[in-house]
Structure 1
Amino acid sequence: MKKLFLSGGGDAYQTQKLDQRFTEEIDRNKPLLYIPIAIHTSRFDDCYEWISSLFKPLGIKSITMWTNLEDRNIQDLEGFSSIYIGGGNTFQLLKQLINTRFIGILKRYTEHGGVVYGGSAGAIIFGKNIMTCSHMDHNTVGLNCFKGLGLVGEYSIWCHYQHEHDPLIQKYLEMYKTPVIALPEETGVLMCGQRLHMIGDKPAYVYKRDRNSVMIIDGDFINKLSWTS
């Protein structure tokens, strides 16, 4: 059963509840695989220091960082407890996953029970369509396919959500015809099998294709298959 953690973004304080739950779901004696490729290469060392400061106090003893996904295969993932995909530019992240063909490996790993944590851009790529990022990310890499991994049913993921984004979400719904799960920076969701559970200090929001239909997720598991109307 897949376990997919999707974070709206934010700092260490804002994500601490989701981070703690994540560490409870994995074998902390195995290394965590960290993939920061949504960020510019000049920041990789800083990214490693950041994730180490985040998870080593929570009991994760070893973190391995991959900055090049060329020639990787599913067997390479066997020794890791889980995968953490960091934030940055969503277009850049998806293009690298496609160009290295790691996107297929990541999807297979997740669908076959691998535990994955996606933060911001790393969360958006698991939705149906990544154009939920277009108000904050620039497509500087010339990506022309905006299809995500589609591991959250028909839903796309909107990160760093604020109520001021509502008009932008309505435009997205009209243009792309896919419902949206909107995550504030203080909030994430755990997808466990076919069910979602909100974790954090603020509710998440589900915007359906009907522009007047909004569902608030606040705490308990909700069966995502019932949201498709």
Structure 2
Amino acid sequence: MIFLGGGGSEADEASLWDEVFVEGRRLTVWPHAMPRDRWPQVEQWFRAALSPRGTFVIDVGDAGLQQTDVLVVPGGNTYALLAATRDMLPALRPFLERGGHIYGGSAGAILLGADIDIAGILDLNDLGLTETAGADLLTGHVVYPHFTADQAETAARWAADHDVAVLAIPETAGVIIDGGKARNAGPSPVRVFTPSGNRTYSAGREWPLWSVNSAGS
């Protein structure tokens, strides 16, 4: 299963975290969206955020996924994240197929979509990346985290201009992907924008994760 966080704090995403960070699970953290000298701070923050939830085995960095229950991809600069992990992305689909889980927060959520260039709304492309294909684990959708209601026009325009479905997640929400179905973990509503319109899904709502050219969007 895939868990997409809107980019808020562990309190903002508590409903999502309740489902993915189950005590005893083995976690691998990819902190590549942050500069390497800040990786220890990422680990420190994550351990502190998880501590009320019990005991976990946590590896940070380029550890493989063979002994992992959950791959954790937190936020930072999405372009830097893609540049650092591009060669590792092909391993994600087999990891999911054998029962693994992936949590992506903010930049990490964007990485799991079809393309990361929507991150340019939020991030600087200091690396000048032109190849921006993501892991494409979301039926062709791209992810817009930190979404607020006043950004609806921006999300709608992106969907129309790029002929994609945009999954817009506020900081106080999270989306769980299980096969071809999506569910809003809440508490805030999420929106899906397509070239032909948009839909809003309240907390607890489930919907099929249609591709942009399917009839369900």
Q: Is the alpha carbon distance of 1:30 and 1:16 closer, same or farther for their aligned partners in structure 2, counting shifts above 3 Å?
A: closer
How many residues align? The count is 213
| Percent identity of paired positions between Structure 1 and Structure 2 | 25
Cα distance between partner residues in 2 of 1:180 and 1:12: 24
Give the one of 65, 74, 79 matched to 1:91: 79
By how many angstroms is 1:30 displaced?
Answer: 4.2
Matched, 1:220 2:196: no
**SS at 1:225's partner residue?**
coil
The question of whether the paired residues in 1 share the 8 Å contact of 2:167 and 2:192 is answered with yes
The question of whether the paired residues in 2 share the 8 Å contact of 1:126 and 1:152 is answered with yes
Cα RMSD of the aligned pairs, angstroms, is 1.7
**SS at 1:96's partner residue?**
helix
2:41 aligned partner, one-letter code: D
The question of whether the paired residues in 2 share the 8 Å contact of 1:32 and 1:60 is answered with no
The question of whether the paired residues in 2 share the 8 Å contact of 1:195 and 1:221 is answered with yes
The runs of 5 or more residues in structure 1 that have no matched partner are: none
1:12 corresponds to: 10
The question of whether the paired residues in 1 share the 8 Å contact of 2:32 and 2:85 is answered with no
1:157 corresponds to: 143
1:196 corresponds to: 182
Cα distance between partner residues in 1 of 2:15 and 2:156: 29
2:120 corresponds to: 134
| Counterparts of residues 1-229 of structure 1 (less than 5 Å) | 3-24=1-22, 28-66=23-61, 69=62, 76-98=64-86, 101-210=87-196, 213-218=197-202, 219-225=204-210, 228-229=214-215
The runs of 5 or more residues in structure 2 that have no matched partner are: none
Cα distance between partner residues in 2 of 1:19 and 1:169: 26
Cα distance between partner residues in 1 of 2:132 and 2:168: 18
The question of whether the paired residues in 1 share the 8 Å contact of 2:165 and 2:195 is answered with yes
Cα distance between partner residues in 2 of 1:8 and 1:149: 18
C-alpha distance after superposition, 1:152-195 (max 9, x if no partner): 10211100001121222133123211011100000010101111
Cα distance between partner residues in 1 of 2:46 and 2:18: 13
Cα distance between partner residues in 1 of 2:206 and 2:157: 28
By how many angstroms is 1:23 displaced?
Answer: 2.1
Give me the TM-score of the superposition, normalised by structure 1.
0.87
Cα distance between partner residues in 2 of 1:191 and 1:149: 14
The question of whether the paired residues in 1 share the 8 Å contact of 2:156 and 2:194 is answered with no
Cα distance between partner residues in 1 of 2:184 and 2:25: 26
By how many angstroms is 1:11 displaced?
Answer: 1.2
1:86 aligned partner, one-letter code: P
**SS at 1:77's partner residue?**
coil
Cα distance between partner residues in 2 of 1:107 and 1:138: 28
C-alpha distance after superposition, 1:76-116 (max 9, x if no partner): 32212211001011111111112xx1111123312443101
Cα distance between partner residues in 2 of 1:92 and 1:127: 16
1:93 aligned partner, one-letter code: L
**SS at 2:121's partner residue?**
coil
